[in-house]
Amino acid sequence: ASNKKLLILAGDGIGPEVMTQVKRVITWFEKRQGLSFSVSDGLVGGCSIDKHGVPLTDETMAEAMDADAVLLGAVGGPKWDNLPFEIKPERGLLRLRKDMELFANLRPALVFDALAEASSLKTELVEGLDIMIVRELTGGVYFGQPRGIENLPNGERRGVNTQVYTTSEIHRVARVAFELARKRGRKLCSVEKANVMESGLLWREEVTKLHGEYKDIELSHMYADNCAMQLVRQPKQFDVIVTDNLFGDLLSDCAAMLTGSLGMLPSASLGAADANGKRRALYEPVHGSAPDIAGKDLANPLACLLSLSMMLRYSFDLGKEADLLDKAAQEVVAGGFRTGDIMAPGCTKVSTTQMGDEILKALDRLAV
């Protein structure tokens, strides 16, 4: 048995399609690089609702807690959109994040040289771009109490969500961001709306206090609305961005388009380190289940494959293997193989499966 316990939750829509390619690559690493994983599969999201009536069973939750890493595809889709809130597919994912205490969500936006032209921005604005968004993932308005929909005496209904952050929640995610900045360009931009929200003001004050321990990092603060604008005006001004759950969700989708497609963006969600330095972790693409292209072998599997690479790097300290996979992805794209979302004139249009084929071929070439 392997000491690397992996739980794979492919989910819904294009989730299983992109995860199939990930499994092929895992098998390649086992056969060709001597790695060994003990892989099990589970259900999350709509597929779990269909089988068990809930988006995540307690058994699967327990397996996730016990795993060294969880790989997730995507959840959700029109079939389940009208279910009561508490059993929607998305709740399964949110429970995983919350119960595993994955407070730091790393969303790198890296522009492949060959894709600089696929961005909706001018090539020179995004060429060589490498930014890291650190999104707080277990707090804020996603989980704050009170929440719900109430009936008011006057016949109106009222929807309530609450934005809350405590000092310790701010400190732990900011620390992850400061540490990452230290290994990169030593610049951190903290993003909130301290001008209108008390939780934002607290965020700014606490990040500023923590900066005392990270004097070598250049810290700046920015309002979230300005940050959205700056990301499309001059994205290369950023190195690491740290922000709350909701702003991080929006800003990372925005950053995705800088790279050419949402189908290119991986993510890692990390918990606190234990005594041995090990963290609970879940890896997933930033994109969703893409109902508009699901079941057609059209999805770009690179976001999910790059999430596998983040897993190799962050959970198993397999930097060389992660570099190999990243390089294979770069080469395949540079070689002109493109799924529809990143297709350009003169390139070869490939399906999800064919993209997987090309990645395996590139790995074979690079491994010799």
And the tokens for 22?
């990930």
The listed partner (ligand NAD, Mn ion, ligand IPM, none) that binds 77, CB under 5 to 8 Å by sort, is ligand NAD
Phi and psi angles of residue 4, each rounded to the nearest 5 degrees, phi first: -110, 95
Distance CA 225, CA 191 (A): 9
Q: Which of 41, 99, 253, 357 is catalytic?
A: 253
C-beta closer to ligand NAD: residue 47 or 170: 47
CA angle, 297 as apex, 324 and 362 as ends, to 5°?
Answer: 20
Mark the segment that binds ligand NAD (CB under 6 A) among 27-35, 69-77, 151-159, 272-280: 69-77
Distance CA 123, CA 115 (A): 9
And the tokens for 39?
């892989």
The listed partner (ligand NAD, ligand IPM, Mn ion, none) that binds 94, CB under 5 to 8 Å by sort, is ligand IPM
Is 225 a residue of the active site?
yes
Q: Does 64 bind ligand NAD (CB under 6 A)?
A: no
Q: Is 107 annotated as a binding residue?
A: yes
Q: Does 249 bind Mn ion (CB under 5 A)?
A: yes
C-beta closer to Mn ion: residue 249 or 326: 249
CA dihedral (136, 97, 69, 44) positive or negative:
negative
In whole angstroms, the minimum distance from the beta carbon of 332 to ligand NAD comes to 15
Is 58 a residue of the active site?
no
Of the candidate residues 25, 26, 56, 94, the single one contacting ligand IPM (CB under 6 A): 94
Q: Which of 68, 239, 249, 326 is catalytic?
A: 249
C-beta closer to ligand NAD: residue 117 or 297: 297
In whole angstroms, the minimum distance from the beta carbon of 337 to ligand NAD comes to 14
Q: How many CA atoms lie within 13 A of 144 on its CB side?
A: 14
Is 51 a residue of the active site?
no
Q: Is 90 annotated as a binding residue?
A: yes
Mark the segment that binds ligand NAD (CB under 6 A) among 26-34, 53-61, 70-78, 153-161: 70-78
Q: Is 322 annotated as a binding residue?
A: no
DSSP for 96-145?
A: HHHHTT--EEEEEEE--GGGGGGSSS-HHHHTT-EEEEEEE-SSGGGTEE
Is 253 a residue of the active site?
yes
Q: Is 195 annotated as a binding residue?
A: no
Is 31 a residue of the active site?
no
Phi and psi angles of residue 108, each rounded to the nearest 5 degrees, phi first: -75, 140
Mark the segment that binds ligand NAD (CB under 6 A) among 73-81, 131-139, 186-194, 310-318: 73-81
In whole angstroms, the minimum distance from the beta carbon of 317 to Mn ion comes to 28
Distance CA 368, CA 105 (A): 34
Q: What is the number of the residue whose Cβ is closest to ligand IPM? A: 90
Q: Which of 210, 213, 221 is nearest to 188 (CA)?
A: 221
Q: Does 288 bind ligand NAD (CB under 6 A)?
A: yes
Q: Which of 225, 278, 320, 364 is catalytic?
A: 225
CA dihedral (49, 55, 58, 62) positive or negative:
positive
Identify the burial level of 300 via C-beta atoms within 10 angstroms of its C-beta, where 0-12 means exposed, 13-18 middle and 19 or more buried: buried
Q: Which of 80, 93, 15 is nearest to 53 (CA)?
A: 80
And the tokens for 71?
């790989």
Q: Is 31 annotated as a binding residue?
A: no
Q: Does 299 bind ligand NAD (CB under 6 A)?
A: yes
DSSP for 231-248?
A: HHH-GGG-SEEEE-HHHH
Mark the segment that binds ligand IPM (CB under 6 A) among 89-97, 155-163, 210-218, 317-325: 89-97
Strands (E), the chain: 5-11, 38-42, 69-74, 104-110, 130-136, 144-151, 157-162, 187-192, 218-223, 240-243, 266-273, 279-285, 337-338, 348-349
Q: Does 244 bind Mn ion (CB under 5 A)?
A: no
Residues near Mn ion (CB under 5 A) are: 249
Residues in the annotated binding site for substrate = 97, 107, 135, 225
Q: Which residues are annotated as catalytic?
A: 142, 193, 225, 249, 253
Residues near ligand NAD (CB under 6 A) are: 14, 74-77, 90, 93, 262-263, 284, 287-293, 299-300, 303, 341
